Amino acid sequence: MRQFFAFVIKEFYHVFRDPKSMLMLFGMPIMLILLFGFALSNEIKNSKIVICDFAQDPASQRIIDKIEASKNFEIKKFLYDPRQIEQAFKEGNVKLVVVIPNHFNDDLLHLHKAQIQVIADASDPNTANTLTNYITNIVMDYQKEITPFNDLPQQINTEIRMIYNPELKGTTNFVPGVMALVLLLVCVLMTSVSIVKEKEKGTMEVLLVSPMHPLMVVISKAVPYLFLSIVNLSVILLLSVFLLKMPINGSIGLLFFESSLLILTALSLGLLISNSAQSQQQAMLISLMGMLIPVLLFTGFMFPLENMPLPLQIIANVVPSKWYYIIVKSIMIKGLGLSAIWKETLILLGMTVFLLTVSINKFKIRLG
């Protein structure tokens, strides 16, 4: 036991004496929380649009006023030549053009119908869709305004209640995602590199001839990262609760338990990679190139998993952070207990056991 601790302490020294690596280890989660909390947003706002007002009558002016009043738009300029529209799109700043045709007001009064055309830069379909919807809503509002007030019969009203996140804060969605991302990626990266480094330098042999069981040597490499990841996790939670005002509705103990489980899964995966990689360069590139974007996408917090084609959804099941994300949401936001997430917990456990078994076997083969 004492020998084991000696190894673990040596590993801690390695980590703490390398401030540049620590930058990533600890700086990354803080940076991610700050970015996701304050900088990144899925909302479409401040979009620059252009208005072609050929009508120039009170009705068109009223609509333009409403658009201007909306914080979603910034009216860039008023164009009168349709050919300039294409150019404006190509210059890249304009996302949408609203064309109000001649005789707009007259048409409304006499014909009881009129048109407003919207041309959207659909190279970004999401923005195009959303902006079109915004404009449509504004026009519908205007339509209601000018409708003579009839006592509308058979009125169906709706009461809408937003559950779990009444203020529609983006944080509830991504904080669990950031936790998943950071714990998984950082653990895998650091563990795999740490073990391969010894292999490469040849110091692994030295460790292996020590009286410690080789397995213990390997585990001693993983232990510091287990500890550091829990510290990381605590930092993320503290930042989320105090800086981003996010609640923790469920049991904190359960949260830490499940997080430790994910960390173990990540460490096992790191172990597996380190067994297969010959050099640090390989271990790093496998982790960085091979895992970054897939984990980002398949955890499910940036893009909804249900939107993805079925084969991709199946692939997502292999990504441990996907299950962890569900678990964390259930505990933190919905305030549920183990009974609700036992299935996901079991899956994570299964993954850990599988990964550990495979890597231990590989390790034994290499030695013996």
Closer to another protein by Cβ: residue 348 or 352:
348
Closer to another protein by Cβ: residue 193 or 233:
193
Q: Is 284 in the site for another protein (CB under 8 A)?
A: yes
Torsion of Cα atoms, 180 then 186 then 187 then 193, to 10°:
160
What part of residues 289-318 is at the interface with another protein (CB under 8 A)? 289-290, 292-294, 297-298, 302-304, 306-309, 312, 315
Q: How far is the CB of 359 from another protein (least distance, A)?
A: 17
What part of residues 246-275 is at the interface with another protein (CB under 8 A)? none
d(CA 345, CA 368): 34
Helix (H, G, I), strand (E, B) or coil at 90: helix
Binding footprint of another protein, residue count (CB under 8 A): 115
Q: Is 162 in the site for another protein (CB under 8 A)?
A: yes
Residue 50 phi, psi (nearest 5): -125, 140
CA 248 to chain centre: 19
Which of 8, 31, 208, 248 lies at the binding interface for another protein (CB under 8 A)? Answer: 31
Q: Is 73 in the site for another protein (CB under 8 A)?
A: no
Which of 166, 211, 253, 368 lies at the binding interface for another protein (CB under 8 A)? Answer: 166
Closer to another protein by Cβ: residue 1 or 111:
111
Q: Are 221 and 191 in contact (CB under 8 A)?
A: yes
Which of 27, 58, 82, 337 lies at the binding interface for another protein (CB under 8 A)? Answer: 27
What part of residues 174-203 is at the interface with another protein (CB under 8 A)? 189, 193, 197
The pattern of x and - marking residues 104 through 133 that bind another protein according to CB under 8 A reads ----x---xxxxxxxxxxxxxxxxxx--xx
Distances from the Cα of 226 to the Cαs of 192, 232, 254, in angstroms?
A: 13, 10, 17
Q: How far is the CB of 90 from another protein (least distance, A)?
A: 4
Q: Which position has the token pair 């210059």?
A: 91
CB atoms within 10 A of CB 219: 17
CA 78 to chain centre: 37
Which one of the spans 2-10, 160-168, 221-229, 345-353 is the region binding another protein (CB under 8 A)? Answer: 160-168
Look at the chain and count its residues. Answer: 368
Which one of the spans 22-30, 219-227, 228-236, 263-271 is the region binding another protein (CB under 8 A)? Answer: 22-30
Which of 41, 56, 203, 317 lies at the binding interface for another protein (CB under 8 A)? Answer: 41
Torsion of Cα atoms, 161 then 299 then 37 then 189, to 10°:
160
Classify residue 368 by burial, with Cβ atoms within 10 Å: 0-12, 13-18, 19+: exposed
Which of 168, 209, 365, 367 lies at the binding interface for another protein (CB under 8 A)? Answer: 168
Please name the residues in contact with 177: beta carbons below 8 A apart, sequence gap of 6 or more: 299, 300, 301, 302, 325
Closer to another protein by Cβ: residue 62 or 219:
62
Which one of the spans 20-28, 214-222, 243-251, 252-260 is the region binding another protein (CB under 8 A)? Answer: 20-28
Return contacts of 80-87, CB within 8 angstroms, 24+ apart: 80/52, 80/54, 82/52, 85/50, 85/52, 85/119
